[in-house]
Chain A
Amino acid sequence: MAVSRVSTSSIKQGFPKSRSMLIGNAAYVPGAYESIATVNGTGSSGTISFSSIPSTYKHLQIRYNARCASGAITDHYIRFNGDTGGTYTKHWVFALDSGGLYTSSTTSTTPPSLGYIQGYDTYPTTGGVVDIHDYTSTSNAKTIRYLTAGDEQSTGSQGAIVVGSALWMNTTNAINQIELVLASSNWSSSSSFSLYGIKGD
């Protein structure tokens, strides 16, 4: 048990009083950009899932630094609310280490690829930022934009940059689940994925 000594003068002055619960401290003003959840790869699953996403934000953003556990390069896809149907479209502009600038587009497709995940290097070598706009809308389709890229050099000429947009043509459901799925292999345990919410007026 702690024992405090109170001076005579403080007893005479009385304890400090304040009409505010802040007691002179500055108020905390939360920002418009908040971290919702972080999920790490396990090395034994090719799916990263964000579930029970709150509907209290205006937009979402996913940021990740990742590799696939096998010594190869593979696609990764985004999927909303478990929808595996042909309800997506996608457009890409992409550059490859091996040369060239290319375009790619698909319509009425199954969950769209966000680009390439590399697994040759020991460390995560693909960085991704995916913006999901107006994700709670129950009247509009959902547009996403993304940049996924990395320059993997341990085995030579495996880097790539993908700039893309995609559409989930579901107009009636808010997004409450997002999955990032590898086409093959598993997400390495050094991969990390973070979901952020962006508030609007």
Chain B
Amino acid sequence: MALTYEPISTTTLSSAANSITFSSIPATYTDLHLVVTTLGATGDYISIRFNGDTSTNYSWIIGGMDNTGTFQQKATGQAQGRIGNSMNSATIPTVTRTDIFSYAGSTYKTVNSTSGSDINGSGEVRVFTNMWRSTAAINSILLRGDAGANFAIGTKATLYGIKAA
């Protein structure tokens, strides 16, 4: 009997890599939840793509604050979504938690995320909302540095499935 909230897959990097992929995602859950702890030598956003879609089907809004103040950003017609930020530290992880609602349904996909880290003198917390304008069920997820930066050794991503009654 399947659990309501269970891990689907975990990837832990044993060497630097420019992406992490979850594929063959079963369509048996209601929502997906992604927990990512990133280490990075170069600060960059964590981007997300579904089903290999590189078309301009993504849009997002970001709100956040760091040690200098608050900020808000938005973009439409993007080739990928944004779910988190990776700080400039190979030893202090940034933690990102992402919800992907009704991922197997035939509607557009809403993706909400929180991300943050503090490296004792600087740091930031951000909240993201994304829209993937596709009615296809999500069967693969690609995480990558938005500008192409690598994830460092020790970066870990776990995908969970949540099943409603």
* Chain A contacts to B: CB under 8 angstroms: 28, 30-31, 33-38, 63-65, 93-97, 99-101, 121-127, 129, 147, 149-153, 159-161, 163, 190, 192, 194, 196
- In addition to A124-B110, A149-B127, A159-B131, 18 A-B residue pairs with Cβ atoms within 8 Å of each other are A33-B5, A34-B4, A35-B4, A38-B164, A64-B101, A95-B63, A95-B72, A97-B61, A99-B72, A123-B108, A124-B101, A127-B99, A129-B112, A149-B61, A153-B76, A194-B164, A196-B162, A196-B164
Contacts of B62 in A (CB 8 A): 95
| B74 and A125 form a contact (CB under 8 A) | no
The interface residues of chain B, by DSSP majority, are classed as strand
Chain B 34-66 interface mask (CB, 8 Å, partner A; 1/0): 000000000000000000000000011111110
The interface residues of chain A, by DSSP majority, are classed as strand
| A36 and B127 form a contact (CB under 8 A) | no
Contacts of B65 in A (CB 8 A): 101
Query: Can you list 7 pairs linking A and B with CB atoms under 8 Å apart?
Result: A33-B162, A63-B162, A101-B65, A127-B129, A159-B74, A161-B112, A194-B30
A137 → chain B closest CB, angstroms = 23
Contact of A93 among B59, B63, B110 (CB under 8 A): B63
Contacts of B102 in A (CB 8 A): 65, 124, 192
| B110 and A151 form a contact (CB under 8 A) | yes
* Chain B contacts to A: CB under 8 angstroms: 1, 3-6, 30-31, 59-65, 70-72, 74, 76, 99, 101-102, 107-108, 110-112, 114, 127-131, 133, 135, 162-165
| B112 and A149 form a contact (CB under 8 A) | yes
Complex Cα–Cα for A151 and B135 (A)? 16
| B61 and A161 form a contact (CB under 8 A) | yes
Complex Cα–Cα for A196 and B114 (A)? 21
| A161 and B128 form a contact (CB under 8 A) | yes
Contact of B61 among A93, A95, A147 (CB under 8 A): A95
Residue from B71, B128, B129 having most chain A Cβ neighbours under 10 A: B129
Complex Cα–Cα for A48 and B50 (A)? 31
Chain B residue with the shortest CB-CB distance to A36: B165
Contacts of B101 in A (CB 8 A): 63-65, 124, 127
Contacts of B111 in A (CB 8 A): 127
